[in-house]
Amino acid sequence: MDRVGVFSFARHHPEFYNGVHAKNSKLGGGEMVSWWLDCVRTCLHELGHLLGMRHCIYFRCLMNGNNGPGDSAGRTTFLCPVCLRKVLSVCAGDEFVFS
């Protein structure tokens, strides 16, 4: 399985859509934490795609689709039971027994 993922920190910056370059921006502590959490969520979401997962349609989940800054505001960092099972299946293969 050969896959490539591309991620940009810039599009998650709070002032990106206002045309402000990250180098010219001053973020407060809370804004910086929020920015990093958004980046972590997107990296984990894209890693799910690298594992072969599609967007989740079952529950509120890390693998839900995202159409821009408005959609990502309520995103969770956690996988739902369906997607968690997919990850366990991919990572453990036949060695993992679901009970």
Q: Which residues are catalytic?
A: 46
Of 35, 37, 49, 38, the closest CA to residue 6 belongs to 49
Are the beta carbons of 76 and 45 closer than 8 angstroms? no
Are the beta carbons of 63 and 48 closer than 8 angstroms? yes
